[in-house]
Structure 1
Amino acid sequence: MRQKIEKRYPFWRVVIWSAGINILLEFFGLFVIAFVKVPDQTYTVQDVTTVNSLLQFAQGTVFNIIFFYFTLNYFHKLIVQQKQALNYVGYCFLVLVLCAIYFVVSHKCFGTITKNKVPVSTELLIFSTSFVAIILIGLSLLIAYLNSLRDDKKLQKILEIQNLQANYNFLKAQINPHFLHNTLNFFYAKSLPYSEELSEGILTLSEIMRYALSKENAIDGKILLKDEIEHLRNVIKINQLRFSNNLHVIFKVHGAVGEVMMIPFVLITIVENAFKHGDLKNPDYPIDIKLTVVNDSLTFLCRNKKKTGPKELSTGIGLDNTKKRLDMVYATKYTINIIDETDFYTTELIIKKL
Structure 2
Amino acid sequence: MNDTLFFILLLVPAILLVGMIILFIRLRQSDGEKRKMAEQIEQLQGTFNTLQLETLESKLNPHLLKNILNSIQSHAYQTYFALDKLGSVLDYILYESKSRFVTPREEIDFALNLIEINKIKISPLFELKVKNRIDETEPLLHQKLMAPMVSTDLIENAFKHADLQSADAFISIVFEFKNDTFQLTVSNKISRRQPIKKERSGIGKKTLEQRLNIIYGSTYSLDSFIEGDVYIAHLKINLLDHKVKMLTVG
> TM-score under structure 1 normalisation?
0.41
Give the CA deviation at 1:275: 0.9
- The 1:337–1:243 alpha-carbon spacing in structure 2 relative to 1, beyond 3 Å, is closer
Q: Secondary structure at the match of 1:262?
A: coil
1:278 alignment partner in structure 2: 162
After superposition, residues 151-300 of structure 1 pair within 5 angstroms as 195-215=76-96, 218=99, 221-256=100-135, 258-260=141-143, 261-280=145-164, 282=166, 284-300=168-184
Does the CA-based 8 Å contact 1:252-1:289 persist in structure 2?
A: yes
Give the CA deviation at 1:217: 8.2
- The 1:293–1:196 alpha-carbon spacing in structure 2 relative to 1, beyond 3 Å, is closer
- d(CA) in 2 for partners of 1:321 and 1:259? 26
After superposition, residues 310-349 of structure 1 pair within 5 angstroms as 310-313=194-197, 315-341=201-227, 343-349=229-235
Does the CA-based 8 Å contact 1:222-1:263 persist in structure 2?
A: yes
Give the CA deviation at 1:341: 4.5
Q: Secondary structure at the match of 2:142?
A: coil
- The 1:325–1:202 alpha-carbon spacing in structure 2 relative to 1, beyond 3 Å, is same
Give the CA deviation at 1:228: 1.6
After superposition, residues 12-23 of structure 1 pair within 5 angstroms as none
- d(CA) in 2 for partners of 1:312 and 1:268? 21
- The 1:239–1:307 alpha-carbon spacing in structure 2 relative to 1, beyond 3 Å, is same
After superposition, residues 122-141 of structure 1 pair within 5 angstroms as none
> Deviations for 1:156-176, whole angstroms, at most 9, x for unmatched residues?
xxxxxxxxxxxxxxxxxxxxx
1:304 correspondence with 2:185: no
- The 1:350–1:237 alpha-carbon spacing in structure 2 relative to 1, beyond 3 Å, is same
- d(CA) in 1 for partners of 2:95 and 2:154? 21
- The 1:236–1:245 alpha-carbon spacing in structure 2 relative to 1, beyond 3 Å, is farther
> Deviations for 1:78-102, whole angstroms, at most 9, x for unmatched residues?
xxxxxxxxxxxxxxxxxxxxxxxxx
Q: Secondary structure at the match of 1:320?
A: helix
- d(CA) in 2 for partners of 1:225 and 1:246? 31
- d(CA) in 2 for partners of 1:327 and 1:213? 24
Can you give the 5+ residue segments of structure 1 that lack an aligned partner in the other structure? 1-191
- d(CA) in 2 for partners of 1:298 and 1:201? 26
Q: Secondary structure at the match of 1:311?
A: coil
Structure 1 vs Structure 2: percent identity of aligned residues?
26
RMSD: 2.7
Does the CA-based 8 Å contact 1:208-1:234 persist in structure 2?
A: yes
Give the CA deviation at 1:196: 2.8
Give the CA deviation at 1:284: 3.4
Does the CA-based 8 Å contact 2:155-2:186 persist in structure 1?
A: yes
Give the stretch that moved more between structures: 261-270 or 243-252.
243-252
Kindly indicate whether structure 1 or structure 2 has the higher relative contact order, using CA contacts under 8 Å at least 6 residues apart.
2
> Deviations for 1:46-74, whole angstroms, at most 9, x for unmatched residues?
xxxxxxxxxxxxxxxxxxxxxxxxxxxxx
Aligned length: 161
- d(CA) in 2 for partners of 1:243 and 1:255? 26
Does the CA-based 8 Å contact 1:280-1:287 persist in structure 2?
A: no
Does the CA-based 8 Å contact 1:338-1:348 persist in structure 2?
A: yes
Q: Aligned AA for 2:212?
A: L
- d(CA) in 2 for partners of 1:244 and 1:284? 13
Give the CA deviation at 1:285: 4.1
> Deviations for 1:19-72, whole angstroms, at most 9, x for unmatched residues?
xxxxxxxxxxxxxxxxxxxxxxxxxxxxxxxxxxxxxxxxxxxxxxxxxxxxxx
> TM-score under structure 2 normalisation?
0.57
Q: Aligned AA for 2:142?
A: E
Can you give the 5+ residue segments of structure 2 that lack an aligned partner in the other structure? 1-72, 243-250
- d(CA) in 2 for partners of 1:306 and 1:327? 28
- The 1:293–1:341 alpha-carbon spacing in structure 2 relative to 1, beyond 3 Å, is same
